[in-house]
């Protein structure tokens, strides 16, 4: 079980329409580089399977790439999509932000309290 927040996915956004399932038939290239797999698994674990099965079959990453990553494939190839995902994850330590703002694991807080804490640091409304 991760000790910090992890990502579920990275979803390109557009102001006029929802972006998903842009090219679901696009081929997913299995990631073979063990360094990248280790880095990606640390930030984006496939929690619906064991680590070994997740790294071997990469079903969740494939699903997320086909559903969302293909929506930016004209700008970012698959490798870049996952690299950007890791960089975005590294850019915000959500658990640290919450702790700094007095929100600690094991206690109860409202959604508004959590949202305000995040916005006070990131200057953006969490979604």
How confident is the model over 6-41, as pLDDT tens digits? Answer: 888 888 888 787 788 999 889 999 999 999 999 999
Helix, strand and coil percent figures for the chain, each rounded to 5: 50, 0, 50
pTM value is 0.84
Range of the structural domain that residue 111 is part of: 93-126
* Average of per-residue pLDDT across 93-115: 94
Residue 74, domain CATH: 3.90.730.10
Of 105, 98, 93, 104, the C-alpha closest to 120 is 98
Residue 107 and residue 74 share a domain? no
Residues with active-site annotation: 8, 64, 68
């Amino acid at each position: 079980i991760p000790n910090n927040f992890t990502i579920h996915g990275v979803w390109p956004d557009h102001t006029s329409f929802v972006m998903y399932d842009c090219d679901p038939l696009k081929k997913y290239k299995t990631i073979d580089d063990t360094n990248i797999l280790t880095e990606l698994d640390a930030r984006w674990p496939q929690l619906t399977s064991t680590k070994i099965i997740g790294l071997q079959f990469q079903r969740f990453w494939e699903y997320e790439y086909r559903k969302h990553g293909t929506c930016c494939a004209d700008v970012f190839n698959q490798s870049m999509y996952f690299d950007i995902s890791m960089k975005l994850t590294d850019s915000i330590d959500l658990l640290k932000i919450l702790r700094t703002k007095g929100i600690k694991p094991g206690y109860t807080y409202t959604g508004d309290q959590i949202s305000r804490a995040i916005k006070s640091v990131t200057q953006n409304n969490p979604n």
